[in-house]
């Protein structure tokens, strides 16, 4: 990565950042993963309604996951790291795959990016697959990229277990 971030971001910068975030989840490097997000970052996985449409407002409709800022992610990571999350004990082994990375365009001070993702998760001798599309708004912070907003569309939402941040 260059010494300074300039707009527009290169495809290499964007892909490298997304691959790193996914690797940090796979390697369970929770504290480093949190640094991928700005303090005000939103993290939202809307739910599918009865009409097969995504909910539009995390404040008034059901979401599968919603954190209005990084503090919610920090709390979740604390519970995972201290084994205070029964749903995450034992922690699953995961492999994240990312593809079809596309710059959607400018978004405020950042760049909105869309990509497809798939995660394989191994726990209790069973492998589960999760897949979908994510939209992130990336902003430069110093010499690094950060996520200012992330919306995750889970396309296979009939799942046999609780879904968590390391699945997506």
Task: Dump pLDDT digits (tens) for 108-125.
Answer: 889 999 999 999 999 888
| Whole-number Å distance between alpha carbons of 52 and 48 | 6
The dihedral of CA 157, 159, 164, 167: what is its sign? Answer: negative
Q: What is the pLDDT of residue 6?
A: 60
Question: Mean pLDDT, to the nearest integer, of 25-53?
Answer: 96
| Whole-number Å distance between alpha carbons of 29 and 13 | 21
Q: Verify cis geometry, omega within 30 degrees of 0, for the bond prior to 8.
A: yes
Place of tokens 């010499």: 143
Range 23-51 burial, b when 16+ CB lie within 10 A, else e? ebbeebebeebeebbbeebbbbbbbbeee
What percentage of the chain carries pLDDT values higher than 70?
Answer: 93
- Decide if pLDDT at 71 tops 50: yes
Range 1-18 burial, b when 16+ CB lie within 10 A, else e? eeeebeeebeeebbeebb
pTM: 0.91
| CB-CB neighbours of 95 under 10 Å | 14
pLDDT in tens, 90-110: 788 999 999 999 999 989 889
Q: What is the pLDDT of residue 3?
A: 44
């Amino acid at each position: 990565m260059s010494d300074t971030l300039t707009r527009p971001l290169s495809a290499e910068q964007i892909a490298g950042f997304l691959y790193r975030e996914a690797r940090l989840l796979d390697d369970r490097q929770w504290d480093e993963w949190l640094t991928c997000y700005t303090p005000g970052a939103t993290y939202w996985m809307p739910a599918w309604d009865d009409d097969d449409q995504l909910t539009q407002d995390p404040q008034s409709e059901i979401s599968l996951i919603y954190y209005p800022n990084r503090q919610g992610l920090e709390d979740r990571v604390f519970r995972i790291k201290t084994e205070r999350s029964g749903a995450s004990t034992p922690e699953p082994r995961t492999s994240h795959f990312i593809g079809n990375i596309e710059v959607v365009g400018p978004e405020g001070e950042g760049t909105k990016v869309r990509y497809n993702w798939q995660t394989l998760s191994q726990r209790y001798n069973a492998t589960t697959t999760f897949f979908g599309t994510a939209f992130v708004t990336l902003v430069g912070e110093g010499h690094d990229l950060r996520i200012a907003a992330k919306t995750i569309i889970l396309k296979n939402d009939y799942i046999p277990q609780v879904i968590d941040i390391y699945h997506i």
